[in-house]
């Protein structure tokens, strides 16, 4: 028996509806993926790092401050955290990736002939803290408040001292790192957080009870 015409039309209409819905879903998924890759979607809210006291800065930082006092000064009129926007998030991702790609890793001993030196990696070479200092300089030039961009010392997955930059925001504290291009909430890095720059003066903020490394990179 031949199927009634209206039955065929209903089947074809339903098929077109399903195909249209599937294509719409694919388009939305592709757009969301593209936005994620370019860092234009804001990250989820997360808890900030808990400060447990004060700490002494790394000696290399103290020497860096002697050469670059403006980089270490704290301006209390600046916000200690930023209201993170989609534009800010995209800028953070862009600067992080650009600097990571532009710098070739080199130990302080090979680069400067000393054990531990903090400096801007503007000559194309540097170790962990040099990457972060250059990122911070460029972000400040983009309009980010210096006070919300804090140099931070951690113990990495190999048990060695490592420097990263913590961006303090109203959505949580996020980490810029030369070991990866993805910007992660601090608690997803698998690092042990030791201390970071303070946002009230020269004293640093203690973030844990582990013994602090004397250097931030061993290679």
Query: What's the mean pLDDT in 183-211?
Result: 91
Give the model's pLDDT for residue 23: 46
Contact 73, 140 (CB under 8 A): no
Give the model's pLDDT for residue 209: 62
Strands, E, within the chain: which ranges? Answer: 53-55, 104-105, 125-126, 149-155, 161-169, 172-176, 184-185, 192-196, 204-206
Taking all residues of the chain, what is their mean pLDDT, rounded to a whole number?
84
Is 33 or 209 the better-scoring residue by pLDDT? 209
Is 41 or 101 the better-scoring residue by pLDDT? 101
Residue 119, φ and ψ in degrees, nearest 5: -165, 170
Give the model's pLDDT for residue 202: 87
Residue 52 pLDDT > 80, yes or no? yes
Contacts of 195 (CB under 8 A, 6+ apart): 55, 57, 152, 153, 204, 205, 206, 207, 208, 212
Of 7-21, 31-45, 87-101, 106-120, least confident by mean pLDDT is 7-21
Spatial distance between the Cα atoms of 38 and 176, rounded to a whole number of angstroms: 15
Write down the pTM of the prediction: 0.78
Contacts of 74 (CB under 8 A, 6+ apart): 147, 198, 199, 200, 201, 202
Which strand ranges, in their side-by-side order, compose the sheet holding 149-155?
A: 53-55, 204-206, 192-196, 149-155, 161-169, 172-176, 184-185
What are the pLDDT digits (tens) for 54-92? 999 999 999 999 999 999 999 999 999 999 999 999 999
Tokens of 154: 């951690």
Is 210 or 98 the better-scoring residue by pLDDT? 98
- Dmax (CA) for the chain in angstroms is 93
Residue 211 — pLDDT band, cuts 50, 70, 90?
A: low
Could you count the other beta carbons within 10 Å of the beta carbon of residue 177?
A: 24
Which of 48, 131, 130 has its CA nearest to residue 82?
48
Give the model's pLDDT for residue 208: 81
Give the model's pLDDT for residue 201: 86
Give the model's pLDDT for residue 121: 87
Spatial distance between the Cα atoms of 189 and 158, rounded to a whole number of angstroms: 13
The percent of residues above 70 in pLDDT, for the chain, comes to 77
Residue 215 pLDDT > 90, yes or no? no
Is 52 or 28 the better-scoring residue by pLDDT? 52
**For the chain, what are the domain ranges?**
1-37, 39-206
CATH number 3.10.620.30 given to 39-206:
yes
Spatial distance between the Cα atoms of 16 and 52, rounded to a whole number of angstroms: 60
């Amino acid at each position: 028996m031949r199927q009634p015409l209206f039955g065929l039309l209903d089947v074809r209409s339903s098929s077109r509806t399903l195909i249209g819905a599937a294509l719409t879903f694919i388009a939305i998924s592709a757009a969301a993926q593209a936005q994620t890759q370019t860092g234009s979607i804001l990250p989820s809210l997360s808890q900030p790092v808990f400060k447990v006291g004060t700490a002494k800065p790394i000696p290399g930082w103290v020497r860096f401050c002697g050469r670059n006092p403006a980089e270490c000064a704290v301006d209390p009129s600046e916000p200690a955290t930023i209201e993170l926007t989609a534009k800010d998030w995209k800028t953070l991702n862009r600067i992080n990736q650009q600097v990571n790609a532009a710098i070739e890793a080199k130990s302080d001993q090979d680069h400067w002939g000393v054990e531990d030196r903090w400096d801007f990696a503007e000559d194309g070479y540097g170790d962990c803290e040099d990457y972060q200092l250059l990122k911070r300089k460029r972000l400040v030039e983009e309009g980010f408040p210096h006070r919300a961009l804090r140099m931070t010392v951690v113990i990495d997955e190999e048990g060695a001292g490592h420097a990263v930059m913590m961006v303090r925001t109203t959505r949580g504290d996020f980490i810029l790192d030369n070991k990866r291009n993805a910007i992660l909430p601090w608690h997803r890095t698998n690092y042990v957080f030791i201390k970071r720059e303070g946002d009230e003066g020269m004293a640093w903020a203690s973030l844990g009870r582990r013994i602090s490394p004397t250097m931030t990179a061993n290679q």
